[in-house]
Chains A and B, each alone.
Chain A
Amino acid sequence: MSSTTQTTGTATTAVAPQQSSPSENYLNCSKGFLSWFFTLDHKRIGIMYLCAIFVSFALGGFFALALRTELFFPGMDFPAIGSRSPEAVYNQMFTLHGAIMVFLVIIPSIPAALGNFVLPIMLGQVDVAFPRLNLFSFHLYVIGAIFFVATLLGGGLDTGWTFYTPYSTSTDTMVITAVMGAFILGFSSIFTGINFMVTIHKMRPPGMGFFNMPLFLWGMYATAVIQVLATPVLGITLLMLAIERSVGLGIFDPALGGDPVLFQHFFWFYSHPAVYIMILPGMAVISEIISVFSRKHIFGYKFIAISSIAIALFGFFVWGHHMFTSGQSTAMSTIFSAITFSVAVPSAIKMFNWMTTMYKGEIVLKAPMVWALGFMWLFGIGGLTGLFLGTMNTDVYYHDTYFVVAHFHYVMVGGTLWAFFGGIYYWWPKITGKMYDEKPAIIGSLVALLGFNVLFFPQFFLGNMGMPRRYADYLPEFTLWHQVSTIGAYILLVGLVIVAWNLLKSLTSGRKAPANPWGGNTLEWHTSSPPPHYNFENSIPTADDPYDLDRWAWDPETQSYVHVPLTEADLAARAAHPAH
């Protein structure tokens, strides 16, 4: 961030786009279903992802609530459906809950929806490098989702989202359709990764080196690396599983000389890095929000940037920690355990840098920041409980208990989903051109935070007491915490309903959003809200330090941030201290 500030400082022609916003924008420039479904515009594709993800989220959430409701009392409370016993219904519900939430919601949430919308604008570009491939990714997502729905309607799935052999090769549920759905979704993810990687490499504007990029782009880049390197292995694994089931290949079948544990290795070689596909974009969003809402330059830019890459790379060497009880050798487990701890280092680097960014900042408690702070809290708990599971001897005890369930929900929901909602609130004015109502937004976030903790914190206790995961019934001594947990689920539902209502209401009655409501300096705030069809109306502003927030000042009259041109004195000061 050193030398460019001088050159760009003089070239700051930065239009003040907030004054005149064009009547034509990407939302109203063309109409009709086909103009959306076959659009090449990254912004529209991002919005379609957003809608599809919300629908999937509602479906996955419905299953979660059904499960929690059943667990309110000991004993079996589900009815038998058709030929399926109540227990089978339960198994199918938790499987579909997991599979939908992982493959259709969390993995695509931030990169495919928000990333698609924001990434090219942050780069000052008209579109991603391969717009048609981008659209193809979305269509693959839709096809993959159809496979999942077919699984649901055609007989369900009861393997858990992990498809472990040998059960997945012997159960009579719809494993093949589900596996093919995940296979197709995998390719959707790969193509998005390729697109983002190439766009970031080849389409940065003048003045934006890798270390002048907004940290959101670093996070997207690290995510893309994992999507590109890990997902193909999942693809081939699922293909092997599907073919094994359909023609009896015997790859994972010991009777034919195969090895069922091999499946676990293949599966986690993808699925552990996939955990970082889920969390890195979340961290990317948080890095933007924390800086902007602390009104302070991000602290430790390079450390945050590099730690994203470090997490992406370390993530490839830890998969064995999912298999401490699978019979793999103790030496292997020890090594995997040691490497697992190393991932804590870059994650902690991020946490401390965010905190240091907030230190002595002017913290603005608006909805995106409230979600971001919730993220830090929840991800902190999720991350620290991960250490219990990375340690071999404690993991042998906690393996397949509610402790694991609580841990990964803290990371995936408390981490990724919180960041996703933070990002949605952050970019909502940019995406829709409308301001949401601040008060209910904050209330919704806090109610969700309360509900989430009431829901999942007791599950640590349950796990500690020995409650196994995936059981439809339990012993009476677990009743209390199960009931607390279920109550938490409904509180979380209330919070999310407030969020949904708040966002939807803004579409009809929200105040018109200014170009820069938060005073961010990344390029998407340099264009109108919503952006025009080609992202920037006039000239594209030159890239500058994305966290130079002093250049924006609050203007009470327009209720927005306006650009403050640099004075000669500023320029002189910056020339004297290039690395401010």
Chain B
Amino acid sequence: MSSTSTTAADAPHDAGTGHGDDHAHDVTLAHHFESHEQQFDAGKLGIWVFLVTEILFFSGLFCAYAIWRGLHPEVFIYSHHYLDTFWGAVNTVVLLVSSLTAAWAVRSAQLGDQKNLVRNLLLTIVCAFGFLGIKTIEYSAKVHHGTLPGEHFKPHPSAMVLVEDGEYIGVAGDLARKELGLVDPEMPAGLTEEQELALVEARAHAIELYSAKLVEQADPVPPSVPTFFSIYFFMTGLHGVHVVAGIIAMFWLLKRAKRGDFTPKYFGAVDYTALYWHLVDLIWIYLFPLLYLIS
């Protein structure tokens, strides 16, 4: 604890928001730690405890999920057909890759390989943005179809999932298109722009009408389907917020990595952020089957 022997006449360490230590010996060792090892261990324990709080934070939602699913399994079986398993699977892969690059970044930092550190951080950020981009595609489809949470759940007939005798038979709009012969319909030649628009609208209207008829013929929609979308949007939304937080943290790391802050002796921040990122990944790995892959 050599730092205690510095006289109080030194610049006050709390005068500003900055680093706080005014010792010349090693800028990467905060003044209240005795060794790099102690500093690293403290940070590591801190981030693990923080991850525990994160798990408990999500646990409330997982708990709500379990209770609803226990009470209304039919709602979950019916509703999951609204989700796009393809994009969900792609997103899972994207996140898994980003976890790999994050772990690689830690390894690069440990080895003092600054070039690879920067490269892997960049790749991780790119994957994170990719994840958010795909999530945007999924969300905008939901907004477009009116499959929104709670009291905002007002799907268009053409977006409704049809079930007969408990068996999934498809989305009303798709079936309607097929039966009306409107799958990839061609535009007749020689129409004015106005006429084209009118035709598109008429076709859409026909699909809507036919869908509504199909919806009437199929099994009734289980009540409280909106709660499924509540939990879907809440869980994936909260997860998305965590992705955004991870991106911010990684940009901060990137800036510091480019500046050459990290050395084999001092790379805690990279390690901690990567741990956080793995947790974000892990939560998605649970969300994907729980929401998308119900059968």
Chain A interfacial positions (CB closer than 8 Å to B) = 22, 24, 29-30, 34-35, 38-41, 44, 120, 124-133, 190, 194-195, 197-199, 201-203, 228-233, 235-237, 239-240, 243-244, 247-251, 253, 256-259, 262, 266, 532-540
Contacts and interface: CB of A to CB of B under 8 A. Distances in A.
A220 B58 CA distance: 26
Contacts of A125: 1, 32
B54 interface: yes
A44 B226 contact: no
A534 B49 contact: no
Contacts of B58: 236
Nearest to B149: A249
B8 A534 contact: yes
Given A203-B42, A257-B224, A250 B49 contact: no
Interface in B76-135: none
Interchain residue pairs A-B with the least CB separation, the first 8: A257-B224, A236-B60, A248-B151, A30-B12, A39-B14, A232-B57, A232-B56, A126-B32
Interface of B: 1, 3-6, 8-9, 12-17, 20, 30-33, 38, 41-42, 45-46, 49-50, 52-54, 56-61, 63-64, 67-68, 71-72, 75, 149-152, 223-224, 226-227, 230-231, 234, 238
A437 B205 CA distance: 86
Given A126-B31, A250-B149, A257 B72 contact: yes
Contact of A256 (B17, B30, B71, B150): B150
B244 to A, nearest CB: 16
Given A250-B150, A540-B4, A259 B46 contact: no
Contacts of B75: 257
Contact of A228 (B30, B49, B72): B49
A243 B31 CA distance: 43
B6 A40 contact: no
Contacts of A194: 46, 49-50, 53
Nearest to B37: A202
A190 B53 CA distance: 8
Given A29-B8, A257-B72, A540 B1 contact: yes
Contact of A126 (B4, B8, B152, B234): B4
12 contacts: A24-B8, A35-B14, A41-B14, A128-B32, A194-B46, A198-B49, A228-B52, A249-B227, A257-B68, A257-B72, A536-B4, A540-B1
Nearest to A36: B14
Nearest to A187: B53
B67 A259 contact: yes
A247 B234 CA distance: 11
A568 B54 CA distance: 54
Contacts of A201: 42, 45
Contacts of A250: 149-151, 224, 226-227, 230
Contacts of A38: 14, 16-17
A212 B46 CA distance: 23
A201 B38 CA distance: 11
A233 B31 CA distance: 35
Contact of B234 (A199, A228, A240): A240
Interface centre among B3, B14, B31 (most CB of A within 10 A): B14
A198 to B, nearest CB: 5
A241 to B, nearest CB: 11
Contacts of B15: 30, 34-35
Contacts of B13: 40-41, 533
B54 A232 contact: yes
Contacts of B227: 249-251, 256-258
Contact of A202 (B45, B152, B234, B238): B45
A126 B151 contact: no
B287 to A, nearest CB: 15
Interface centre among B15, B33, B53, B59 (most CB of A within 10 A): B53
B26 to A, nearest CB: 15
Nearest to B52: A228
Contacts of B6: 534
A247 B150 contact: yes
Nearest to B17: A38
A275 B14 CA distance: 34
A249 B150 contact: yes
Contacts of B150: 244, 247-250, 253, 256
Interface centre among A120, A532, A534 (most CB of B within 10 A): A534
A22 B226 CA distance: 68
Interface centre among A233, A249, A262, A532 (most CB of B within 10 A): A249
A203 B38 contact: yes
Interface centre among A127, A198, A233 (most CB of B within 10 A): A198
Given A30-B14, A126-B1, A232-B56, A197 B49 contact: yes
Given A228-B52, A243-B234, A266 B8 contact: no
Contacts of A537: 4
B38 A256 contact: no
B152 A127 contact: no
Contacts of A126: 1, 3-4, 31-32
A328 to B, nearest CB: 13
Contact of B61 (A197, A236, A535): A236
Contacts of A259: 67, 71
A390 to B, nearest CB: 24
A249 B45 contact: no
Contacts of A536: 4
A257 B226 contact: yes
A120 B32 CA distance: 10
Given A127-B31, A257-B227, 20 more contacts: A30-B12, A34-B15, A40-B20, A126-B32, A127-B32, A129-B32, A131-B20, A194-B53, A203-B38, A236-B59, A240-B61, A248-B150, A249-B149, A250-B224, A250-B227, A251-B230, A251-B231, A253-B150, A259-B67, A535-B4
B8 A256 contact: no
Contacts of A256: 150-151, 224, 226-227, 230
A257 B14 contact: no
Contact of A22 (B8, B14, B52): B8
A131 B59 CA distance: 29
Nearest to A244: B150
A233 B42 contact: no
A507 to B, nearest CB: 22
A132 B17 CA distance: 9
B3 A257 contact: no
Contact of B64 (A22, A243, A262): A262
A6 B17 CA distance: 44
A131 B53 contact: no
Nearest to B230: A249
B57 A129 contact: no
Contacts of B33: 203
Contact of A538 (B5, B45, B60): B5
A533 B12 contact: yes
Contacts of A24: 8-9
A116 to B, nearest CB: 14
Contact of A247 (B38, B60, B152): B152
B41 A229 contact: no
A249 B224 CA distance: 11
A129 B6 CA distance: 20
A534 B3 CA distance: 8
Contact of A240 (B30, B38, B60): B60
A233 B4 contact: no
A31 B42 CA distance: 31
B148 to A, nearest CB: 9
